[in-house]
């Protein structure tokens, strides 16, 4: 099967970095005590999301991805949620109601598809 539409959103790309199950260590800092240990730049959450989003947009968008549908569900809003996966990773995806209404088939888990859309955080 072939799934092709420009309105697909492929969010959560940061999560795809950790599909191996090995996550980077997380270190918490007590903000009441000064951090005297030099380290990497400390980002505000919003600033990091914008920086990652800008980098993804500049390098990958628009993007076409081929994979297998997994965990497909259609919300009462008409939006569809699913993952695209292959043997080495997966991306969580959202397809908005307008695009879902243009499909000429009913997506199911296990379908091999090609999706065109935009990566976003």
Beta bridge partners of 20: none
The parent domain of residue 51 ranges over: 8-19+40-119
What's the rounded mean pLDDT across residues 70-82? Answer: 95
Task: Give me the mean pLDDT over the 46-69 stretch.
Answer: 93
Question: pLDDT tens, 85-114?
Answer: 999 999 999 999 999 999 999 999 999 999
Residue 77 confidence (pLDDT) above 50: yes
Does residue 50 carry a pLDDT above 90? yes
How many folded domains does the chain comprise? 1
Per-residue pLDDT tens digits for 6-36: 333 344 444 333 344 445 555 555 556 655 5
Give how far the C-alpha of residue 115 lies from the chain's centroid of Cα atoms, to the nearest Å: 13
Radius of gyration of the chain (CA): 18
Q: Examine residue 59 and state whether it is found in any structural domain, yes or no.
A: yes
- Cα–Cα dist 72/100, whole Å: 12
Q: Given this model, what pLDDT does residue 39 score?
A: 79
Residue 104 covered by a domain? yes
Q: How many residues are there in the chain? A: 121
CATH number for 113:
2.40.50
Between CA 8 and CA 89 the distance in angstroms is 19
The conformation of residue 16, written as its DSSP 8-state character, comes to: H
105 is a domain residue? yes
Does residue 26 fall inside a structural domain? no
Contact indicator for 47, 34 with CB cutoff of 8 Å: no
In a domain, 100, yes or no: yes
Strand partners, 69: 84
């Amino acid at each position: 099967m072939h799934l092709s539409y420009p309105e697909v959103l492929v969010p959560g790309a940061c999560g795809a970095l950790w599909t191996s199950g090995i996550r980077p260590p997380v270190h918490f800092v007590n903000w009441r005590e000064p951090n005297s240990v030099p380290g990497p730049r400390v980002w505000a959450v919003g600033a990091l999301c914008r920086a990652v989003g800008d980098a993804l947009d500049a390098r990958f968008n628009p993007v076409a991805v081929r994979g297998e549908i997994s965990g497909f569900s259609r919300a009462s809003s008409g939006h569809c949620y699913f993952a695209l996966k292959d043997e080495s990773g997966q991306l969580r995806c959202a397809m908005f109601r307008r695009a879902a209404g243009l499909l000429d088939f009913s997506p199911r888990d296990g379908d091999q598809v090609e999706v065109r859309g935009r990566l976003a955080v």
